[in-house]
Structure 1
Amino acid sequence: MGRAEERRARQARGRRAAPKRSSGAGAAGAPAGGKNRRSGIRRFVNWKTITGTFFGLCLLGMGAFIVLYMVVDVPKGNAAARLQSNIYKYRNGDVLARTGKVNREVVDLSKVPKSVQRTFVAAENKSFYKDSGVDLKGTARGLINTLSGKGKQGGSTITQQYVKNYYLNQDQTVTRKLKELVISLKVDRQKSKDDILAGYINTSYYGRNAYGIQAAAQAYYRVDASELSVAQGAYLASLLQAPSQYDWGVATDTGKKLVTARWNYTLDNMVEQGWLDSGERQKLKFPVPKDPQGAPGMEGQTGYLVKSAENELAKQLVTDGTASDLDQAQAMVEAGGWTITLNIDKKKQALLEKTVKAQLTSKLDPKKRKVDDNIQAGAVSVDPKNGRVLAMYGGKDYFKHYYNNATRRDYQVASTFKPLIFAAALDEEAKTQRDRPITANTVYDGTNRRPVVGSDIGFAPPNEDEHSYGDVTVQTAMNKSINSVFAQMGVDVGMDEVLKVAGKLGMDTKKIQAVPAQTLGSMGASPLEMAGVYATLDNHGKKVTPAIVAKAEHKDRSVDFPDPIGDQVISEEAADTVTSVLTGVVDDGTARTSVRDNPSRGGQQVAGKTGTSDNNKSAWFTGYTPDLVTSVGLFGEEKKTGRQVSMKGATGLVAEGGRVNGGGFPAQIWAAYTFDALDGKVTKFDLNTTSGAAVEPTERPTVTRTPSSTPSSTPTTEEPSTEPPTSSSPPSPTDEPTTTEPTTTRPATPTGTPTDGLPDNPFDPNSQ
């Protein structure tokens, strides 16, 4: 047999030995000793396909990047050309101001001290002189943050930030970030590091409307860039991380701590890089910048209005997602191209300015009285029906006092907080310590320095002039602003509930401690804030958020602002009852001289509340008619230091120890402005309430002092009487305080109707 035949025979034997396939074998499983076949997705997914897919995507990404690199060119820098004017208009369309002369003077890098140049590298990008112009990790993080909606990226190189400032824009989009990456790589190849650094420090925004290091040096230190010290340069370099938060002139305590830490970080990095001697570093002290100055054209009240409008627009850009943070938003606003219409009424604005001058500033004479130089006034006027800010007074002059007194919230609101305590009592249907509903006719003990009952925290506040009033209704307590009554009421309601309601009405209460001492209005708030709170009361409990901006339009976008009128935050009856009670403050309380007796009143119905803080550092009157709410605040601020100081003796006052009361200048400004602004129109409140001073009286509240085993009948509503009480009658809601000095003996225990909120003997905790 030949070889060929042998091979064919072996093949034939092999075929005969091979097992036959069964049609049922696949269903029952593989034969013994065989391997399972892959089924479903497992037939396609294995380590080979995964690896292949990964490398395929990498190659695809690399190819896409190469194409992008070839397609995207370095654009012509036109940052300066894009900066335009902003136009600000009154509500009627008249132009209020134009801004937009770019505050930038480009300086050659050789004019900036080498040590100052290095502060920017130390602060932002230590590897700047060695890297290729991009931070791949930082860019990837930024892309992920953008895709996930987490906002601003971190970790960009100086080259990338320069490209963003000079060649691109501040938009937070994936397309812009990819362009930034490509252009940065190309710019790093085409330009020297010195050129890039010069471009970066000359295009960056430093706050205070300062673009570039020369404008920043002038804005913060009143020197040219060539005269900056290394300490000053480190501050400007640190500032770039958050200009609005780190501007020392307006920064919060937190902002000051953060920028100081960043300043130290920058200098420490310079030591680490060998750019600064450690011994010299230890000698450096933080260079506190000069106070901010206004820009040309911003004199008088204009600067306050423009800056308030810009701030409101910037906040809205963050809220609607156009900007990732406030710094980016402010840069977008100040880049120009906006037409911003304010809600400011031109006539009312002029009237408010004229009134403050006539009623206050014309009477101040710092040459005669040092204290007169410390008086600051702020005021805001709001339409309660639509929330528009119709007028604002920010200070003597934007150039002379940069800080806006209308929006500052660092002074105590004092007794203007008392209506909010009462509003909380009504809305929460609170009861006294004796389980009686709190109404305008509820009787409390107005004894001076009476300890509150029912609180774990002891508190015994003094009344003004240490006066004791005895048993009084809530209406009388509001009229005469009796501290001891509202301290107890705050405890009765619960300070947590009081602050909750205050927050719903419009106060920022997030950082306020819920302790009885807050019933004296020891927290800070601004005239703008208080105008919004009282406007909500005036608007029958529907939330009013004062709005300065009516609309803002840009060539690229328009901005939608929320409706200033919000939801019902307290009940209509609660809000209207507070309003009713506050009419008593005007007609028979602390504001009667300035407001009730004003010859221009002409029968106009008014509600309002005075406030005078501890040590007379602030004085307030916030009042309203059905159509207009205005809050006026006076603040004692030492001119040189900005420290809060007493206003006693201002304008030569001698009565009441020279104290500036809320019922004095603030109420006088309010009345003169309001009655003129109403232009002869007389209106009445339409109130849903059966309580308070605005209600037609039926019979006098019964507050007997004869022994009785049961409480007297519930007091009925009554308009306070202006007649003095007889010696045999109990104090009425409108009794004038006696002039007798309080004795040092303990107050007598009431023998008739138990005083709400007290044990029979307020000094005996076991007598309840």
Structure 2
Amino acid sequence: MKKTAASRTKQPRTWKQRSLWALKWATVAGLVLALVAGAAFFYLYRTIDIPRANEDFKTQTSRIFYADGETELGSFATQDRTIISYDEMPDSIKDAVVAAENQTFWTDSGIDVKGILRAVFNNASGGDRQGASTITQQYVKIFYLSQEQSYKRKLKEAILALKLQRQITKTELLANYLNTIYFGRGAYGVEAASRAFFDKPAKRLKLREAAVLASVINNPTRFDPANGKDARKALKGRYTYVLNSMATLGSITADERDKALKHLPKFPEVESQSTYGGQKGHMLALVRKELNRLGYTDDQIDGGGLQVTTTLTEDGMRAAEEGVREAKPEGFGDKQLHAASASVEVGTGRLLGFYGGQDYLDSQINWAVSGGMVGSTMKPFTLGAAIEAGFSLKDTFEGNSPFVFPDGLEVRNAGGGDGQDFGSRVNAIYAMEKSINTAFVDMSSAIPQGPAKIQKLAMKLGVPPMESDQRYPGIPATSRDFTSDDTLITLGRARVSPINMANAYASIANGGRRAEVHVIEKVQLADGSTDYEFDEPTERAMDEDIAADVSFSLQETVSNGSGATVLPLGRPAAGKTGTATNSKDEVSSAWFVGYTPQVSTAVMYVRGDGDDQLDDWLPTYFGSGYPAQTWLAIMERMMDGMPVEDFPDPVYVDGEAPKDGYEPTTAPPSPTRKPSPTKSEEPTEEPSEEPSEEPTPTEEPSSTDGPCEGLLCPSESSEPSGSPSPSQSPSGNPSSSSSASAAPGRRSSRS
């Protein structure tokens, strides 16, 4: 039968045929896509290199310690992190993190294929960005990539995870991850986290504590129990999941799980202080500055994992702060009145403690470093230079006022009018006790090239020059207005830091040998090796016998003169008061610098920008007032528990005086009192015989540092005016027990 055209028409395919056809082409397309994807992945695997690590995640916290090397003072950090080895991490934290974050960690290839596909699908379809990464992927993301949620980043993450796992072991990966991941509370890595949550090193973590830290990785804010009841409840749920997972994996037994599930661990009150609040900011700023001076960069300091041992002690810093707060006058806020102190260990130059001023967060000026005009605390350097030049403690100098230089420049003592007369022949000891300006100006002018010799000796003892000089270092490296051509250098125009003044006096206490003042004792690198250790020998700055004589004059100043305020310390002490005036003839600084055989402390009071008026503002501006009382309060604490030590006897060094007319005399003149000063010149009341318990304006006229041309140059006496007693004769030897029996020593004295 012949087929018709209709019969030759193609019959439609059945549903089964169409399904087979679609499946065939889908398979072919799938194979092609798989080949293309495989080729693309292979190409990317070959061409994508492991990038440079994110620098912040390579950093370690630099930790600063007190002098004991164990008590942490503070830290510097880009990220708070301390890297520890895999062996230092307890098994509990390793197992807990694996159970919480990646249960197939020890067997997988480093990637979660399902998680990648799910993230790609969601991202491509416009859904929520998703992660679902292995520990290896998380590590790659934070250490090498970014937090961007995209399929491109996810693909790159997977490739890098595969490559990284071929280069390092699983244990290295886990250790790196645990040293890198953020746990909250500002802590990066398990060591910092352990300290932030439980106030202990990671090696001491127990099971419950490890489970908590493993839990918070998932969401550090949501699971931090410090964030309230809801956060604690959320943490308990995650904590339960972690412990159950550990039991399932066999990391812990069912009994261990059940016991741990009963309650969360205890969370101790971890001290949370401002990094820079109070005096801590001044301490850390000083340490950073010294590290910079030693050659460490800010990058090393902030992220190099340095372990820095300072010279500062907790007791020293506490003594400084408590002493200042106890003695400082009430009602004169920190924002106007600045008290500063510094304590240096005699013989070593270690800065034991200081008080820099108001809270660092309110003002970054450290007055223990910035300093101010030192006034009459410069006079011991003048006496030392005079003895070096051939004078002696028994030699006499001009005590009457005014002292007139050949060019007409006048220097006056206190007392109104032309100033108080102490006699034309006062010996060096009495001049120091009463801080007689005219005597010290006479002494300075009698020394050949006197100002230059005084400056050089001060620098050798520890007062840095104006220009940085490695021969005369200090903290900071320079002083201000400290020049060799200053005719009145002995009256203390120079601006010096309390730290350096304390060290210069410590050199006198150390028999004339200077130790470099320093705040950094040792620096260790992150691997524990020592990179720097202070090891500077002391240097001879002043002859030992001369140092003994200068020190004796300062002991007499405490026993019989303007330093009597500190006698209640109850042990041998030497010191000097000082005040200085600004260009307006206003008292602008007040000092007391003194020492025992073990510790030297300087105290300074200034106001405003360091040059504002103290007189007519404070109840008293004398060095024997608030500064000396502050020194006493600090040193009572500082010396507590230290043995009582004596100073060496005076030697009465004598040489060939460079000028005639300064020989000792046994005929003490009777000082006369000039007319009472006006209010603008001096307090209207007579100085009191003994320092009162509370400072009053009647204790002590001040000395000045200015040229005193036609101006009042007050002396510093806490003694009453009138004739000196026989024991304090301007021309005789003081009859204190220490001087009466003093042997001549290695050098002969002149009668």
TM-score scaled by length of structure 1: 0.49
Residue 705 of structure 1: how far off its partner (Å)? 6.4
Deviations along 1:555-586, whole A, 9 cap, x unmatched?
Answer: 26633244354211211011111001101111
Number of the residue aligned with 2:453: 497
Contact (CA 8 Å) 2:512, 2:547: kept in 1 or not?
A: yes
Matched, 1:302 2:297: no
Please state whether the residue corresponding to 2:373 is helix, strand or coil: coil
Number of the residue aligned with 2:629: 668
Residue 608 of structure 1: how far off its partner (Å)? 0.4
Matched, 1:423 2:402: no
Aligned 1:162-561 pairs, distance under 5 A:
296-317=274-295, 329-360=297-328, 363-366=330-333, 373-409=335-371, 411-429=372-390, 438-452=391-405, 458-465=408-415, 466-471=419-424, 472-493=426-447, 494-510=450-466, 512-555=483-526, 558-561=530-533
Contact (CA 8 Å) 1:533, 1:544: kept in 2 or not?
A: no
Matched, 1:76 2:31: no
Q: 1:365 to 1:736 in 2, by over 3 A?
A: closer
Q: 1:333 to 1:735 in 2, by over 3 A?
A: closer
Matched, 1:94 2:71: yes
Q: 1:663 to 1:81 in 2, by over 3 A?
A: same
Q: Greater shift after overlay, 626-635 or 74-83?
A: 74-83
Aligned 1:589-628 pairs, distance under 5 A:
589-592=561-564, 594-596=565-567, 598=568, 601-602=569-570, 604-614=571-581, 615-628=586-599
Q: 1:482 to 1:734 in 2, by over 3 A?
A: closer
Please state whether the residue corresponding to 1:516 is helix, strand or coil: coil
Please state whether the residue corresponding to 2:287 is helix, strand or coil: helix
Number of the residue aligned with 1:204: none
**Amino acid corresponding to residue 634 of structure 1 in structure 2:** Y
Contact (CA 8 Å) 1:339, 1:553: kept in 2 or not?
A: yes
Residue 672 of structure 1: how far off its partner (Å)? 1.9
Sequence identity, in percent? 27
Number of the residue aligned with 1:684: 646
Number of the residue aligned with 1:584: 556
Q: 1:403 to 1:704 in 2, by over 3 A?
A: closer
Q: 1:564 to 1:406 in 2, by over 3 A?
A: farther
Rounded to whole Å, the distance in 2 between the matches of 1:74 and 1:473 is: 81
Q: 1:565 to 1:531 in 2, by over 3 A?
A: farther
Residue 682 of structure 1: how far off its partner (Å)? 2.3
Please state whether the residue corresponding to 1:702 is helix, strand or coil: coil
Contact (CA 8 Å) 1:387, 1:565: kept in 2 or not?
A: no
Residue 385 of structure 1: how far off its partner (Å)? 2.3
Q: 1:364 to 1:689 in 2, by over 3 A?
A: farther
Deviations along 1:572-629, whole A, 9 cap, x unmatched?
Answer: 011111001101111111111x212x2xx33x11100000111221110010011111
**Amino acid corresponding to residue 647 of structure 1 in structure 2:** L
Rounded to whole Å, the distance in 2 between the matches of 1:606 and 1:643 is: 28
Rounded to whole Å, the distance in 1 between the matches of 2:401 and 2:291 is: 48
Rounded to whole Å, the distance in 2 between the matches of 1:676 and 1:578 is: 26
Rounded to whole Å, the distance in 2 between the matches of 1:424 and 1:458 is: 25
Q: 1:564 to 1:459 in 2, by over 3 A?
A: farther
**Amino acid corresponding to residue 315 of structure 1 in structure 2:** R
Aligned 1:75-154 pairs, distance under 5 A:
76-92=52-68, 93-101=70-78
Q: 1:77 to 1:576 in 2, by over 3 A?
A: same
**Amino acid corresponding to residue 554 of structure 1 in structure 2:** L
Rounded to whole Å, the distance in 2 between the matches of 1:488 and 1:331 is: 54
Unmatched runs of 5 consecutive residues or more in structure 2: 1-48, 81-142, 145-272, 467-481, 655-663, 671-688, 691-715, 724-730, 733-751
Residue 551 of structure 1: how far off its partner (Å)? 0.9
Larger radius of gyration: 2
Aligned 1:721-736 pairs, distance under 5 A:
736=719
Residue 308 of structure 1: how far off its partner (Å)? 1.1
Deviations along 1:637-665, whole A, 9 cap, x unmatched?
Answer: 1xxxx3621122455x1xxxxx4111111
Please state whether the residue corresponding to 1:354 is helix, strand or coil: helix
Q: Greater shift after overlay, 672-681 or 88-97?
A: 672-681
**Amino acid corresponding to residue 455 of structure 2 in structure 1:** L
Deviations along 1:249-276, whole A, 9 cap, x unmatched?
Answer: xxxxxxxxxxxxxxxxxxxxxxxxxxxx
Please state whether the residue corresponding to 2:590 is helix, strand or coil: strand
TM-score scaled by length of structure 2: 0.51
Q: How many residue pairs are counted as aligned between the two chains?
A: 407
Residue 633 of structure 1: how far off its partner (Å)? 0.7
Q: 1:391 to 1:461 in 2, by over 3 A?
A: same
Please state whether the residue corresponding to 1:528 is helix, strand or coil: helix
Rounded to whole Å, the distance in 2 between the matches of 1:459 and 1:425 is: 21
Q: Supply the RMSD in Å over aligned alpha carbons.
A: 3.2
Rounded to whole Å, the distance in 2 between the matches of 1:458 and 1:77 is: 73
Q: 1:704 to 1:518 in 2, by over 3 A?
A: closer
Q: 1:357 to 1:79 in 2, by over 3 A?
A: same
Please state whether the residue corresponding to 2:538 is helix, strand or coil: strand
Rounded to whole Å, the distance in 2 between the matches of 1:331 and 1:701 is: 65
Please state whether the residue corresponding to 1:98 is helix, strand or coil: strand
**Amino acid corresponding to residue 421 of structure 2 in structure 1:** S
Contact (CA 8 Å) 1:452, 1:488: kept in 2 or not?
A: no
Contact (CA 8 Å) 1:382, 1:629: kept in 2 or not?
A: yes
Contact (CA 8 Å) 1:311, 1:330: kept in 2 or not?
A: no
Contact (CA 8 Å) 1:343, 1:547: kept in 2 or not?
A: yes
Rounded to whole Å, the distance in 2 between the matches of 1:564 and 1:620 is: 29
Contact (CA 8 Å) 1:374, 1:647: kept in 2 or not?
A: no
Q: 1:467 to 1:342 in 2, by over 3 A?
A: same
Contact (CA 8 Å) 1:475, 1:584: kept in 2 or not?
A: yes
Contact (CA 8 Å) 1:460, 1:484: kept in 2 or not?
A: no
Please state whether the residue corresponding to 1:425 is helix, strand or coil: helix
Deviations along 1:163-197, whole A, 9 cap, x unmatched?
Answer: xxx99xxxxxxxxxxxxxxxxxxxxxxxxxxxxxx
**Amino acid corresponding to residue 461 of structure 1 in structure 2:** V
